[in-house]
Structures are given as C-alpha cells and as structure tokens.
Structure 1
C-alpha cells in the first residue's frame, strides 16, 4: 500500500494505519539471508468458528505401520477435511482391523452415519523410503473411489497426507482441494522480520528470509517456485524476486524513489510494480527478468496495488483519481480504466478469484476495515468479516476461501473465510505479530 506519505489517507488508531506507519518510519540497517530449509519456531494454531451448511460424515482409520513415524497421517487428513468446513469426522470404537485392502461391510458404516471411509497403511522399504497406500470408500454407493500407492521419502510424509486429503475432498465435492498448497506471510518480533513459508494448515513453517528491516507485499509466482516482495534493507523500498529452492534472489525494481507492490501475471512472464521514479505513484509492468519496463498509468493521483486477472486480459488496482481510494480495472497494456467498486468511500487491496468472477478487497465501513467480495457480473457486494481490523485478502487457488490478516489479543494473526462467509477459522500464533499473508498456487506434482 502506498498511501504512507499522503495526508488525505491519515487514519489514526487503526491496524491499517499502524501498518503504514511501521513501513514509513522503519529504521534501516542490515539483513540476514537464511536458507529456506531453516524451520521457524512459531507454528500456527487453528481455531474453527464456522462450518458449511451441509457436511459429509467420514471416518479415517489409523494407518497401519504409522507408529514410530514423525507424522500422524490419519490426524493430518482428519484435520484438513474438518477445517474445510465441508466434512465432519465420526470416530468409532471398532476394534476391526482395517487396511487399504480389506474393508468391512460398508453398510455397517452407513448405518452409523459414515458417508466416506478412509483406510491405509505405511511401510518402510529397505532403502529408507516409505510405501504409503490408501483406499477411499463411498459407503452409500458401496464402492471404492480410489486406491493409491505412493513411494516417498520420509520428509514428504506430511505433504503426501495433505495430498490424500485433497483427493478425498475432490472426489466427494467435485472441486480441487488446497490442503497441499502453501502460505507466505511476514512475522514480526522486536528487532526482526521474517518471511515465512508454511503449509496451508500453518504447520511446517520455514524461514525464507530474515531481516532487521521491514519485508512487505509478498507475491507468489504462478508456479509457486518464487516470491516477489518488498524489502527495506537498502534504506528504501526495493522489489526483490526470491527463488525458494535455492534461496537466491535479485533486485528486480530498484529505481529512484519507492519501488513497491509487486504482482505476477497469470503466466509468470511479467510483474507489475508501483514506482515513484517519475513523481507520483504509478503502475509499471516489466519482464520477470527485469527487462522491458512499461508505464501503464498516468495522472497526478495515486495508482497502486495492481493485481492481474487470471485470463491475462486485465489489471485491477487501487486509485484515488475519483477523490478517494477505489478499485479500477484496465487492460494489461494500460490505457483507460473503469471503476469497479461503488459501495462505500474507501476500497483498497483488490484480489481476483481464479475464475475471474469474484473480487475481494478491503473496505472501510463506519470506521472499520472489513473484507468484502464483489460478484463482478451481478454487482452484488457481501461483507465477510466483522472485527473491523482486516487487511491483505488473498484467494485460495480453488477460489473457495480467502486468507487475510487481522488482529486478536493485541497481535496480528491470520484468518480464513469462505467466499460465502459460512466457513471461518483463524491461524494464530502465541508469539510474534503476523501480517502480509498470501496464498500460494497449486503445487505441480
């Protein structure tokens, strides 16, 4: 967000304005680049406060051979499905030996209300890898919906459990699950900032970058291998691109003045950035390698927070050209822009759903900052949150959920809400302030 030095946007005593002040007045010194494999200590905890109207009842049996392994496969699958809001777990006291090859009479499970049954096993191979198998059984149709076997490294056990939950979710609901995706966010503690990559459930946090200075606006590349972000390590905001597997990074935009708000195009070939090098805050595009700088907006106002549509045709952005911050849409080549938001006098931080049909953003209503969604075809707006201190919305890659930052107990935390507002849960940490979240894309198998 680039309203830090603009008096007309002064909003004292709010989480949003606090974020702007922290960025604008941060003391600048040195940074420490850390390997992506380093594990962060603060793991997020989940508190579910809302679920879907209709839920699928399922039961997951303990995976045979799971004893002694670092992850409980059954628990990861259960937690994923329950957190989605569309499933409820039915625990049984049956002593029947279940595995992926032998299922008891499915009608017996249906009689106790179980719609889906998950069974499996894991076996250590002589070379140290694991042979992980599972079977999903539909008790209503009395048939298997899939039997799979994975040979994996032990380090991939948690990810594979997430993939099993994704398979169950897709088979039962008809849309892709997002349990095997990742989140990026910024963690702040006294004297340090850390860019964190974590599983979608907040577990397995890894440090991508540690710095004494602010890190803001992380943005995933479409293939999930890189992050663009803004770092203040050189006494001004500079846009970096960071390759997660190697830890290598480069300064992509380091022009005179401010360099901020990076956003990847849907194919990953271009990145939009906000620069003040010509005076004022304007949106530019450039190649992902830093070549071909092209100015897209003009005028004396503030133009910021670009977000590419997934069809590659448009860029949504925030501008005050109409007198107050509203969301506009223009071609990816720039030119004339049309206003998109009309409800309320303050709408910022646009993000578009993967199907390009729904826009999410932060809106100010009666002095509170809330997450809203707008049906672009029908023009219907819905407010999804109520605490009044929300920012940084980001769609899940299946378009079902929205990740955002909020505050609880005096600290920043992350939360998720479904785009219909029914399903809600928070990912909280007992340690540092957490902010600047963004939901990563589907992982390539």
Structure 2
C-alpha cells in the first residue's frame, strides 16, 4: 500500500475518527448557524384541519426552508382562522409584516384512512397564486410529502431544485460494530444498510439512487462492494491483490472509478459497475493517484495525486491524456468533489495544521474557505450544488456538518451520544 493511500486510510480508521458511537439508527439532530446573504421572507401557515394528521406537516416544511439559510421565516403559527385559499387570507396584513410569500392550505380526510393535502404558495405583493399542489397520502407519508412541498416552494422562489426529499448515507460505529445507514436529508428515518465487525468507509451513491458503492474490510483488507438498496443484494466488485478503495460512479451509472494497488503503486482504474476487468486510467503515471471523482458531464475525472511531491488535486479527461494540476495553495489538498454545474470543486485543505473545506472556481481559479476546521473531511455536495455535507471531529466526537456553497450558512447534524462519519449526499429524484 502506498504512502498516500495509507495516510488517507489511516485517517479514516483511527480511533479518534469514530470515537464512542451511539446506538444504531438514532436520528440526527440539526442545529443551524448563520444565514444567506439575501433571505426571502416567507410565512408557513398551519394547514386548515392539520391536527387530523398523525404528525405536523407545516412544521416540517418550515424547518426544511429554514435549514437552507435562504429564507427568513415569518411566524404564522397563531393565525386564525387558518386560511385554505387566497380569499380567506388578509394579504395586506401579511405584506405589511414584510412577508413576500406565504404557504397556505387544507387537509381533507379521505376514505380508507387517507388524507388529501392541498397547498397554495401566494405572492403577497400581487395577491396571486404562485404554486398549487395536491397530494393524496397515507399517514406514514406526511414527512415525505412535506419535503416534496418544501422542494417545490424552494425551486419556485429560487429557481434551483430543492434537496429536502433526497437522502444521505453515513457510517457509525459502536464498539466493534460498524454500520452504514441511509436517512432523509434532515436526519430523520435512518435505516441500516449494512452492519459489520470490520470498518466501512467511502459510501458513494449511484446516479439513480438505487445502489451504494462502499469500501468494506470484511475480508481483512479493503474491498469495494456495490449494494442494491431495495433488496439488500451485495456484490464485491473489486477484490484484487493489495488495496481496493475510493469508488466513484460514472454519471450514467455504468462504470466505477476505483483505486487499486495491485501493481504496487496507488493507481486509478475504470471498471464495469457490475464487476469485471479494470482498466488503468493513466498508463504511465509514476505517481500515487487516488480519490477519483467524475465531473457531472462525465468528461473529466478529478483526483488526488502526490506527483508534485505532496497531495494535490488534479483532473484528466476521462478518455485519458495529460493530467492538469488544479490546486497550488498549500502543501496538502485532497478529496476533490466537482460541483454539479461544472464551474468548480470543493476539497479538503490542510492550513496551519487545520483541515478545512474549500471551494475553487475553475473559471477564475479563486479559492475560498468554507469552514475553519480543525478536523473536517469527506466533503459531499448536495445534488443542487448549494450545500456541502462533510464530517468533522469536535470535542473528541465525530459529527456531520453542512455548509452553504458561499460559506454563510452552517448546520450541525449530530447524534446525542456518538459519532456519524463518512457522509454521502444522494441524487435528486430518489
């Protein structure tokens, strides 16, 4: 195993990385700090007859929008009567309170224990409807429906798809028990995917959200596994001589980029996602290369390499060619993650002994810090490119955090008494 790959794996597997971990499938709690530069003032009114539902819906919508940092919530919890349409809403009053938009609606009971959810997004400046949505749901679908509504409101008011209906994957550990879990983007509904007495690292979502690739040490060495989520079927797709690590999906889901040491040095290979013969990406690279990640259009592969003497971020055309160095500030830059719009990438930089999340613009080469460290790692971009999910060590405990792509809004997603690490944000449309 090469020095670069060994260093990265040891960072992930050291005891301080996991610490004492909570019970499996504990929901993540969310703490929000900061706000976006220009927030949209919005009121989320309780729905008419909402108490009929087994859990609150409007509160979930409000919490979703609040987490984004792009909205300023105007309290409408005491509104009476609860408006179900514009005719029942005092538009002038809410406009005078500095509210730009308001979500109103009703809950109607249906036969068979179901409910109809009707919501309207109102433009208070014009007194007109911006958006109308209707859902027929069962009781267990309240939170899911709330996330869908929040996504629709977010996109209507910002022009960017919402990610509240997406899922995240992460790893926890309790004593010698490692567990890979999948949860809603807000940390609710965690579900175990795989449990092992050996470490699990580097989970990566397939583009369709149906599979996870990850690294398991179940064979007493790192191997790459692909697991189908709806049936739990697992396939070891890379178990070659030496280390098998750092899986990354191609945008069409047909291939994986993996890091292998079967020929001695750490090298990036491309192989079918179902397993098969790996093909080395850089045939004559004298360096140690790892942490490959495809660009959203599939034209480039970003990766970490020590070819310049220390770990730096590079990219190369997927069909080969000459690698281009991208990072020049500092002597330690790793874990590149290209943004969905192709304009930049986030990565981890060591600066003054602290590991922090950075973002670099590929057009003007500007580099900006998104976090201050001191121990941040494993960045994962939201599929709309607006947030970066990452792991960090605070007070001897690991937790997940998220930061907006401009660095203004931060979230902490933590377990009450343990660690969550190795985050991966799933795709849209799950």
Could you say whether these structures have the same fold, taking a TM-score greater than 0.5 normalized by the shorter chain as the test? yes
1:364 and 2:357 correspond = no
1:321 and 2:321 correspond = no
Give the Cα–Cα distance (whole angstroms) in 2 for the partners of residues 338 and 109 of structure 1.
54
Structure 1 residue runs of 5 or longer lacking an equivalent are 11-15, 25-38
Deviation at 1:163, TM superposition (A): 0.8
Alignment of 1:25-174 (within 5 A): 40-67=24-51, 69-92=53-76, 93-100=78-85, 102-174=87-159
Partner-residue secondary structure (3-state), 2:144: helix
- Normalised TM-score (structure 1): 0.90
Structure 2 residue runs of 5 or longer lacking an equivalent are 18-22
- Normalised TM-score (structure 2): 0.93
Partner-residue secondary structure (3-state), 2:383: coil
Give the Cα–Cα distance (whole angstroms) in 2 for the partners of residues 56 and 195 of structure 1.
36
Deviation at 1:23, TM superposition (A): 11
Deviation at 1:5, TM superposition (A): 6.6
Deviation at 1:425, TM superposition (A): 1.3
Contact kept in structure 2, 1:3 and 1:20, CA below 8 Å: no
Deviation at 1:109, TM superposition (A): 1.2
Deviation at 1:301, TM superposition (A): 2.6
Deviation at 1:409, TM superposition (A): 2.7
* Correspondence for 2:20: none
* Correspondence for 2:400: 414
Give the Cα–Cα distance (whole angstroms) in 2 for the partners of residues 125 and 133 of structure 1.
13
Give the Cα–Cα distance (whole angstroms) in 2 for the partners of residues 23 and 96 of structure 1.
53
C-alpha spacing 1:338/1:395, structure 2 compared with 1 (3 Å): same
Give the Cα–Cα distance (whole angstroms) in 1 for the partners of residues 269 and 332 of structure 2.
23
Listed one character per residue, the Cα deviations across residues 89-141 of structure 1 (whole Å, up to 9, x for unaligned) are 11143322312475313122101222111112223421333311111111012
Task: Return the match for 1:338 from 317, 320, 324.
Answer: 324
Deviation at 1:186, TM superposition (A): 0.5
* Shift >3 Å, 4+ stretches: 1-6, 20-24, 100-103
Give the Cα–Cα distance (whole angstroms) in 1 for the partners of residues 409 and 195 of structure 2.
33
* Correspondence for 1:35: none
C-alpha spacing 1:336/1:195, structure 2 compared with 1 (3 Å): same
Listed one character per residue, the Cα deviations across residues 20-56 of structure 1 (whole Å, up to 9, x for unaligned) are 44599xxxxxxxxxxxxxx954111111111012211
Of 144-153 and 305-314, more deviation after overlay is shown by 144-153
* Correspondence for 1:301: 287
Of 109-118 and 331-340, more deviation after overlay is shown by 331-340
Contact kept in structure 2, 1:178 and 1:398, CA below 8 Å: yes
Listed one character per residue, the Cα deviations across residues 248-298 of structure 1 (whole Å, up to 9, x for unaligned) are 111111111111100001111111011111111110001111134211124
Listed one character per residue, the Cα deviations across residues 37-92 of structure 1 (whole Å, up to 9, x for unaligned) are xx954111111111012211211121233325333101100101111111121114
Contact kept in structure 2, 1:296 and 1:335, CA below 8 Å: no
Deviation at 1:325, TM superposition (A): 0.4
* Correspondence for 1:354: 340
